[in-house]
Amino acid sequence: MQNILLLYCYENIMQEISKNDQELRRIEELNLLEEAGMNAFPYSFDKTHSNRQILQNFSDEDPTPLSEIAVAGRIMSLRRMGKASFCHIQDEDERLQIYFKRDEIPDFYEYLKLLDIGDIIGVNGYAFRTKMGEISVFAKKVTLLTKSTKILPIAKEIVDEEGNKVVFDEFADKELRYRKRYIDLIVNPEIKEVFKKRAIIINEIRNIFNEKGWLEVETPVLQPIYGGASARPFITHHNALDFDLYLRIADELYLKRLIVGGFEAVYEISKNFRNEGMDRMHNPEFTSLELYVAYKDYNWMMETTENLISALCQKVNNSLKAKFGDYEIDFTTPFRRAKMFDLFEQYLGENIRNYSDEELKKVCKKNQVELPQNASRMKILDELFDAAVQPHLIQPTFVIDYPLEMSPLAKSHRTEPGLVERFEMFVAGFELTNAFSELNDPRDQRQRLEEQAKIRAAGDDEAMTLDEDFLNAIEIGMPPTAGLGIGIDRLVMLLTNQKSIRDVIIFPLLRPEK
């Protein structure tokens, strides 16, 4: 009788099918299941085991501990036969095979026809091993938990003779994967590992810092004056107060105010926003860690940084070595330390320390580094470093002692005139951290920010703005302080071997769909 009803409905559907025939059919199946008295969307299900627990704990010698179990998951494959069927259900971690025998579940077996890949079911039964050797669950009772009314782009996998996993019809379209991340997570579940590791990294940073008694704080995202980095901001508007606000580009200036206020170690893990180009290393919103510790300098911060990153690698990869593309990165401490001008000398073959701007431009030309017209000394050095030095910095390297012009918030070097006490850490050819002995001489700080304001007035809209309240805080007096910034997304990329920032940001920015 059920079959006759089915046939009747299918014919009806087939006539009105145009584009979404598969979806229409699923909705019709849903109706049929409900007409048969089934709740397609019940409220809960008592799961006793995860799929992983079944797979890990099953014992051929003594299967009794898993003789009364309840598992749940999304149907990812379905092999129906006349009197016996198999499917795989996927939970958060694993796929598990379910065996349906008609004689055991005569009432439900008929409804198997109305189930599809994508539906979520709960299964009560016992664990056993099939003749083909796969640990499975013998279904004694099946409960529909959610009917899926859209089609999943399902991939199929086999393991070839050499043990390699081969995926057929992989859901591979990058755009669709980023836009429909929920489908990506279902169909390419291995990407979950990246986001789990991301959470582990961030939690471990908090553990390590909190252990030391450092205070996690939250400073404003909406700021009337932005600063702390060279970047263009996003602008938004407060309606009630009727003024424009900026989304923060860095936490720095607020965190330093807190050090002035008397906190001796503060950190923040938060989103920053920069209104600039996007590529595999840049997303308009990104997560950064900033840490400020009073009475310390950049030498101390270098040790803190290498210990932190080394510990994170160990935690996530169970090793101090991490594979990144073709490289194997070794995070064994101490990391290499190299002065910026020594690196120039090493990779350019000449000592440019005391070169005039004109001489530097000649070096650029010789090395095919193109410069914008009227490039400042800071710009010239920056370009030259990016082109000639940075690509060589594969293993973790602290580049130290930058020219003063490049670092308006860093303290002048204690022995080297014209330089500041700053380090950036490079790995795999890209910048991962930025840190300095923080500038706390208010006269020097005012002068440097006024210089930035001039550069800004001359048309460089990435130069810093003058924040009088920040200067006021520095005038009140900030103790000697070491500061650190780490790009968390890039750190996750490094430690999880992902080549694009979009693969470590779970919902990366895309243009809106039309």
Rounded Cα–Cα distance for residues 73 and 76 (Å): 9
SS (H, E, C) 348-370: HCCCCCCCCHHHHHHHHHHCCCC
Task: Tell me: does residue 498 bind RNA (CB under 7 A).
Answer: no
Q: Which of 252, 268, 383, 405 binds RNA (CB under 7 A)?
A: 383
Residue 63 binds RNA (CB under 7 A): no
Among 251, 487, 492, 504, binds RNA (CB under 7 A): 487
Using CB under 7 A, which of the segments 167-175, 312-320, 342-350, 437-445 binds RNA?
Answer: 167-175
Smallest separation, CB 354 to RNA (Å):
24
Based on the shown chain and the rule CB under 7 A, indicate whether residue 22 belongs to the binding site for RNA: yes
Is residue 176 within the footprint of RNA (CB under 7 A)?
yes
Residues 118-137 contacting RNA, CB under 7 A: 128, 130-134, 136
Which residue matches tokens 């431009």? Answer: 361
* CA nearest to 12, candidates 20, 24, 2: 24
Report angle CA 141, 147, 152 to the nearest 5 degrees.
115
Which CB, 99 or 260, lies closer to RNA?
A: 99
Instruction: Give me the residues paired with residue 292 across strands.
Output: 266, 483
End-to-end alpha-carbon separation of the chain, Å? 46
Query: 62 and 50 in contact (C-beta within 8 Å)?
Result: no
Residue 396 carries which DSSP code?
Answer: -
Q: Which is nearer to RNA, 166 or 215 (CB)?
A: 166
Cα–Cα distance, 485 to 504 (Å, whole number): 19
Candidates 6-14, 40-48, 261-269, 316-324: pick the segment binding RNA (CB under 7 A).
Answer: 6-14
Q: Choose the binding region for RNA from 238-246, 329-337, 382-390, 467-475 (rule: CB under 7 A).
A: 382-390
169 — phi, psi (to 5°)? 50, 45
Q: In angstroms, how far is CA 257 from the centroid of its own chain?
A: 29
Find the binding residues for RNA in span 284-323 (CB under 7 A).
Answer: 284, 286
* Cα 314 to Cα 308: distance, rounded to the nearest angstrom: 10
Least distance from RNA to the Cβ atom of residue 199, Å: 19
Interface residue with RNA, options 80, 362, 392, 454 (CB under 7 A):
80
Query: Interface residues for RNA in 224-243 (CB under 7 A)?
Result: 229-231
Q: Which one of residues 102, 196, 353, 456 is an interface residue with RNA (CB under 7 A)?
A: 102
Size of the site for RNA (CB under 7 A): 85
Taking the complex as a whole, the smallest distance from the CB of residue 183 to RNA amounts, in Å, to: 9
Among 34, 35, 68, 170, binds RNA (CB under 7 A): 170
246 binds RNA (CB under 7 A): no
165 sits near RNA (criterion: CB under 7 A): no
Residue 369 Ramachandran class (φ > 0 left, ψ -120 to 50 alpha, else beta) = beta
CB 246 within 8 A of CB 253: no
175 binding RNA? (CB under 7 A): yes
Among 1, 44, 82, 106, binds RNA (CB under 7 A): 82
The residues in 361-380 that bind RNA, with binding defined as CB under 7 A, are 372
Question: Binder to RNA among 274, 411, 413, 448 (CB under 7 A)?
Answer: 274
Interface with RNA, residue 168, by CB under 7 A: yes
Distance of CA 233 to the CA centre of its chain: 22
List the interface residues with RNA, window 414-453 (CB under 7 A).
430-431, 434
Which residues share a beta bridge with 128? 136
Query: Which CB sits closer to RNA, 113 or 353?
Result: 113
Residue 3 class from Cβ within 10 Å (0-12 exposed, 13-18 middle, 19+ buried)?
A: exposed
Given candidates 47, 196, 282, 361, which one binds RNA under the rule CB under 7 A?
282
- Burial (Cβ within 10 Å: 0-12, 13-18, ≥19) of residue 117: middle
Q: Cβ neighbours of residue 203 under 8 Å, at least 6 residues apart?
A: none
394 lies in the site for RNA, by CB under 7 A: no
- Examine residue 262 and tell whether it contacts RNA (CB under 7 A): no
Residue pair 411/479 in contact by the 8 Å Cβ criterion = no
Residue selected from 1, 15, 16, 18 as contacting RNA according to rule CB under 7 A: 18
Return the number of the residue (412 or 498) whose C-beta is nearest RNA: 498
CB 48 within 8 A of CB 70: yes
Instruction: Using alpha carbons, select from 485, 487, 492, 488 the residue that is nearest to residue 298.
Output: 485
Q: Which stretch binds RNA (CB under 7 A): 194-202, 342-350, 468-476, 486-494?
A: 486-494
Which of 27, 38, 70, 84 is the binder for RNA (CB under 7 A)?
Answer: 84
Tell me the torsion sign for CA atoms 104, 105, 106, 112.
Answer: negative
Give the one residue of 299, 363, 500, 506 binding RNA; rule: CB under 7 A.
500
Q: Which of 31, 57, 77, 146 binds RNA (CB under 7 A)?
A: 77
Distance of CA 132 to the CA centre of its chain: 39
